[in-house]
Every structure is written in structure tokens, then in C-alpha cells.
Amino acid sequence: MKWLFSAYKTTERFLNSQQYHQTRSSSLYYSRFYSSSRILNASESSNRLSDSSTKVDLEIISRETIKPSSPTPRHLRTFNLSILDQFMVDVYVPFAFFIPNTNNDSVSDVVNKRSKHLKETLSEILTRFYPFAGEVKDNLQIECNDQGIYYTEARVNQTLQDFLRHPDDEKVRGLLPENPNTTTSSIGNYIIRTQVNIFKCGGIGLLTSTSHKIIDGHTNYMLMKAWAAAAQGSPETISPSFVGAEIFPNNMSLEYSLPSKILATKTLSTKRFVFDSNSLALLKAQPVASASSARPPSRMEATTSIIWKAAAQAATKVRQFGPQSPHVLLSMVDLRKRASPPLPEESIGNLVIAAGTICFPGCQLDLPTLMGQQRESIAKINDIHIESMKGEKGHETFNEILRASNQLMDLTAEGDCLVATSLLNSGAYELDFGWGKPIWVYLMNHGIVRRVALNETLTGGGVEAIVTLSPDEMEIFECNPELLSYATVDPSPLRFVH
């Protein structure tokens, strides 16, 4: 997962303050390519997901390892992680693209031609993204040994249209590679696992599970963009820039780690809440209580804030909250464009940090205040703050940030903290492997207790918010009348296909 507190000095002032009773939110800055390839025999390819809880009828038809088309040079065999990679939670992040068979090719052609082409072009781009074919050695390094990417093909016994009529989170997870699960350590494992799910209609569900030790959301998108360009035969070449460890070198003596409270130890509940353009217009018509800017709220600010408000209110129904009990919002911020000079768009690695802000759900909450506090916390992730994180001089900054984040989590009951991430305006729906763009792009949770992930809707300018809470909180959250006046719960992605 992708988060870090900024401006730890403000956090320290809050922690020392006795003014917990205030009703406003308080900001806290805080050989070619096939290896071990085989087609499974009939007994082996039994329905991997046949139990009643998974709801997906599929069979694995092959498991392979895709290696770079040319070996990684010896002088590149050791890849240093940045300090942001170093303390990033060691989990796998699942991602899904659903692509229809717009050319009406036969299923046999999809299996024999498209899938083969995907493997060939993936092998080609791995020569540029060579660390992804390696093995995480520890929190400081990747051994670029060309072990490759684990690649699975599966046949799904239904059409893509049928699947997308009611695609709940559990159902989509049934299309992921069987191992690792999201909370498995990447050390000693493949950095990326991919499963190509071929539906009866020839549509494809392309699902990846990537190690967060080196791959953040933007990095994953760059990889997919490069893969799609290669599959299309496009002259456009994406050359990854590995500047992270140079700018933010790792630290063997890092004193603190991320708080464990943000990671799930119990069952979670995930649902989708879709805001159409009309609802967004109503939300964005509200003022933002921010001294730094008078502009209207963005889609991210508007949707995140109403979800945060409803999540905080749900928490008060299942746990005791007093006027001094905080509920935290961590908004993930990409550093690439905020640094001075900006980092290359093709920068690879975890180049994100979290902007933190607090509300007190035991008191009255209003959207203008919540939107304003989120905006102000994000604004403090500026070039000056990023500069303080650079080089070896930034090691102490990171230690203080991590120390403050642990202190803050100690103040929250059961880690009452909502982590917000966004792929709005990322271009994910523009990816085209040569047979059409995806009709649904889905961001799955990778084990964060409370999380909201934002993405576009395919058409109409809407926002899809994938929200994860504990089951008892979700039961209350999904019935919140204010939230439901703007959002629709779990609509079919097909409603956005024209």
C-alpha cells in the first residue's frame, strides 16, 4: 500500500495538544521467454475455484514463466530499492482489466494467437523493466536474476457480459493467480504474477498481482502501457527511469516501520459506490473551507470526503467514540509532478507519500470542512517538503515521519484510519493491446483495513469508489442516507458500455 505521513512537526504539535475537543478537522502532514511451461492434464486442471464461496467456474489450462527476451547484463544484477520502497508494506497489489472480444475472433484464435502475442511482447518489454523479472532479496535490494514473471492462462465457463452483470469483489478475486495472496511476502517470490482469463465469448480478463516493494499504482500503469504499446506494434517506446534510489537512498538503520494497524487481520468487506456526473455536480457545488484556495472541489476531494464522513460515522456505531476520538484520512500523493524539478513520468518505484488529516466523528462533521482539510494537507506535500526527504539528509526526516505515524495510530481505536488512493485521470481506460480498450478497470484492495480507491467510469465522467471496511462498519456505511443520495451501490459496469 502506498502511504507516509508528511510534515511530522505539525503531527508532534497535535500530539502534544490538549485541544482534542475542537469540532473542526485538524491537519496532520504527515532462451526466449518460456520457462517451465506446460499444459495441465485433465486431472490437474480441475476447477480451481469450484467451492461455492468463489462463484467462478474456470479451469487453468497452462502455467508458464515469462523471462526477458534477452538476459540482464551482469552490471545490472543488483537493483537498490529506495527508502520509500524499503518501508513500504510487503504485500501484493491486485489489478484487473476486462477487455471484450470486439473483433469477434473465435475462442481458439484468442487462445492460440492473442495469448501467445501477449507472452511474446511481455518478454520483450521485460528487458527494459528488468527488475520486475527478478527476486526481492530483502528490504534493500532486488536480485535481477531473470527468474521471470509467473504467467497463468485460464478458461472461464461463462461470457464476459454474464460475468460483468454482478461482479462483486470476491468474484473478481476468483480470477487472480492462485498464489501469492495479497498478504504474502514478496521476498523469495515472483515480483509479478499474471493470469489471462479467457471467457466463452473470447473476451479477456487480464489480472495482475504485483509486489508493492517496487511497484506503485503509477509504476503498474507504466508497465501496462509499455506492454500494450508493444502488443500493438506501436513505435512508441516507454523506457523506465530508475531514479528512486538515487534521489531517496535507502537506510539500513531505519529506526521505525509503518504501523501494523493499517493491515487487515480479520475479514473485510468491499463494495463499489458509483457517483455519476449529476451527483458529482451537486457535490462540487459545495464550497471548500480552505484558506489556501477558493476553487471548487475536485472529483477526488468531493467523493473522498463524503466517503470519509460516512465511514467515520459508521465507526461510531460499532465502537465508542468520544469528542476526543480521532478518525484519520490518509490521501496518497504522487511525488513525480510535485518535485522540483519534476521526476520523469516514467519513474519506476514507490514514489508516493500520504497526506494526513483528522476529523472527530464524535462531533458534527460537514463536507466543506472535510474537503478543505484534505486539500490543505495535500498542498503541504510540495517541492520544499520533498526536498527535505532527498539524499542521506532525508533519512532523519523519514525516521521522524514514521515515528509520528506510529504515535498517531496509537491514538486511534483499532486503527480508525481510511486510506485513499486514486487513478482518476490516469488513462487506464485508454490502454489497448490491439483488440480494443477495456470496458472495466477494477482496483482491488491489498489488505488495508479501511480503504477507498477511486477510478473513472468508462463513460459519463463518473467516479467509481471501491470501499473496504470491516463487515460491521460496511453494513452501516452502505445504508448511509447522505451517501446514497449521491452514489449507487455495486452497479454493473455494463451500464457504462454504449
**Residues assigned a catalytic role:** 212, 432
State the residue for C-alpha cell 551482469. 74
At 473, phi and psi to the nearest 5? -70, -40
Residue 343 to residues 242, 328, 351, Cα–Cα distance (Å)? 10, 29, 9
Helix (H, G, I), strand (E, B) or coil at 174: coil
User: What residue spans of 359-393 are helical by DSSP H?
Assistant: 367-379, 383-387
Work out the burial of residue 80: count CB atoms within 10 Å of its CB; fewer than 13 is exposed, 13-18 middle, 19 or more buried. middle
Identify whether the C-beta of residue 123 lies closer than 8 Å to the C-beta of residue 33. yes
Half-sphere exposure in the Cβ direction for 220 (13 Å, CA): 27
Helix axes 299-318, 367-379, angle to 10 degrees: 120
Q: Report how far residue 449's alpha carbon sits from residue 470's, in angstroms, rounded to the nearest whole number.
A: 7
Residue with cell 532527498: 390
The CB-side HSE value for 258 (13 A sphere, CA atoms) comes to: 22
From CA 232, how far away is CA 491, in angstroms rounded?
A: 32
Which secondary-structure segment (H or E) carries 164? helix 160-165
SS3 content of the chain, % helix, strand, coil (to 5): 30, 25, 45
Nearest to 49 by CA among 185, 197, 239, 149: 197
